[in-house]
């Protein structure tokens, strides 16, 4: 791991606020790590847009700032802010697609609605929109742009985002926000107020199991072709074994989504090292 005093501002932000992705980036070629840190720091900026403000409109303003900034960057203009300037350099150097950033921002707009997904398909779509484009951008930085690369990234991104939403249930509940599908809550007899009050139930465990099953299915799909991804591009896909570790911890905890114990388990770095060595996730 790099010395802390040698970390860039972007790397430091990712290490502090998205440690899992920080660790995966360490398995990338040294000359590409900073570009990944910049991408992940940008993702932090838009992913936290809702939680940093009281009013959704203020969150929309933050997202619009980044939309305008990206428009300027793709027009060859200065971003006007350190992270934006670094992002502009990464975009130009690696030829990153503007559409991927648009997908990320569009998906984050839904955070401002404070409305749970209607069903599991809507939750899956949200997971794809908030994570798969980032995984594809990271692969592009590592020169992996083939159809198989992108499809593996899509499945890994969805699985990672679904796992993250399960891990975040206690945090979201404390903020009176909910990302669990309404149809599953109704199916298993769970009310929103029950979750907001921090009361677990057998029904909530079943809700978590259905979402976990979907996440694992995407992990299986990703692994079917992960061996075809170049080893030097495997770093962004190492969130797959991390997701599996968290889902295993959830199962071992009895499936209690409102407990923070399972979500704080630190996956072993050796598992990531083994995956990187084998060239498979």
* pLDDT tens sequence across 42-77: 999 999 999 888 899 999 999 999 999 999 999 999
- Tell me the pTM: 0.94
Q: What is the mean pLDDT of residues 146-164?
A: 97
In a domain, 3, yes or no: no
Query: What is residue 144's three-state secondary structure?
Result: coil
| pLDDT computed for residue 5 by the predictor | 58
Eight-class DSSP state of 264? G
In a domain, 241, yes or no: yes
pLDDT band (50, 70, 90) for residue 264: confident
Q: What is the mean pLDDT of residues 168-175?
A: 95
Chain centre to alpha carbon of residue 149 = 17
Contact 137, 100 (CB under 8 A): yes
Q: Quote the domain boundaries for residue 186.
A: 9-278
Neighbouring C-beta atoms of residue 277, cutoff 10 Å: 11
| pLDDT computed for residue 87 by the predictor | 98
Is the predicted pLDDT of residue 1 greater than 70, yes or no? no
11 or 80: which leads in pLDDT: 11
In a domain, 125, yes or no: yes
In a domain, 172, yes or no: yes
In a domain, 4, yes or no: no
In a domain, 33, yes or no: yes
What is the torsional sign of CA 34, 22, 74, 142? positive
Is the predicted pLDDT of residue 3 greater than 80, yes or no? no
Please count the CA atoms within 13 angstroms of the CA of 39 that sit on its side-chain side: 31
Q: At what angle do helices 147-167 and 120-141 cross, to 10 degrees?
A: 130
| pLDDT computed for residue 267 by the predictor | 73
Q: What is the CATH number of the domain that holds 174?
A: 1.10.600.10
Q: How far apart are CA 252 and CA 28, in angstroms?
A: 31
Q: At a CB cut-off of 8 Å and minimum separation 6, what does 74 contact?
A: 91, 98
Q: Which of 215, 271, 209 is nearest to 238 (CA)?
A: 271
Q: What is the mean pLDDT of residues 103-132?
A: 97
pLDDT band (50, 70, 90) for residue 4: low
| pLDDT computed for residue 226 by the predictor | 92
In a domain, 247, yes or no: yes
In a domain, 2, yes or no: no
| pLDDT computed for residue 154 by the predictor | 97
Q: How many domains does the chain have?
A: 1
H-helix segments, the chain: 9-17, 19-25, 33-47, 56-74, 82-94, 98-109, 120-141, 147-167, 169-174, 182-187, 192-196, 202-225, 239-252, 269-278
């Amino acid at each position: 791991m790099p010395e802390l005093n040698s970390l860039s501002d972007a790397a430091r932000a990712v290490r502090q606020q998205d440690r899992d992705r920080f660790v995966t980036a360490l398995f990338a070629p040294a000359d590409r790590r900073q570009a990944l840190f910049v991408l992940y720091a940008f993702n932090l900026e838009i992913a936290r847009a809702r939680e940093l403000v009281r009013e959704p409109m203020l969150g929309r303003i933050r997202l619009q700032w980044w939309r305008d900034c990206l428009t300027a960057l793709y027009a060859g203009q200065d971003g006007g802010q350190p992270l934006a300037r670094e992002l502009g350099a990464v975009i130009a150097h690696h030829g990153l697609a503007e559409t991927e950033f648009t997908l990320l921002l569009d998906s984050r707009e839904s955070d401002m609605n404070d409305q749970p997904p209607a069903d599991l398909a809507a939750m899956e779509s949200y997971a794809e929109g908030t994570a798969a484009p980032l995984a594809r951008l990271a692969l592009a930085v590592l020169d992996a742009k083939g159809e198989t690369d992108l499809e593996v990234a899509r499945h890994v991104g969805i699985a990672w985002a679904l796992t993250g939403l399960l891990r975040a249930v206690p945090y979201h509940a404390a903020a009176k926000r909910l990302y669990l599908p309404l149809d599953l809550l109704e199916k298993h007899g769970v009310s929103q107020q029950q979750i907001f009050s921090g009361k677990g139930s057998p029904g909530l465990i079943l809700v978590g199991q259905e979402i976990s099953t979907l996440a694992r299915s995407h992990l299986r799909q990703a692994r079917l072709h992960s061996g075809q991804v170049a080893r030097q591009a495997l770093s962004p896909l190492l969130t797959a074994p991390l997701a599996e570790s968290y889902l295993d911890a959830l199962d071992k905890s009895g499936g209690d989504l409102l407990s923070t114990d399972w979500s704080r388990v630190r996956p072993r770095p050796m598992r990531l090292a083994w995956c990187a060595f084998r060239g498979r996730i």
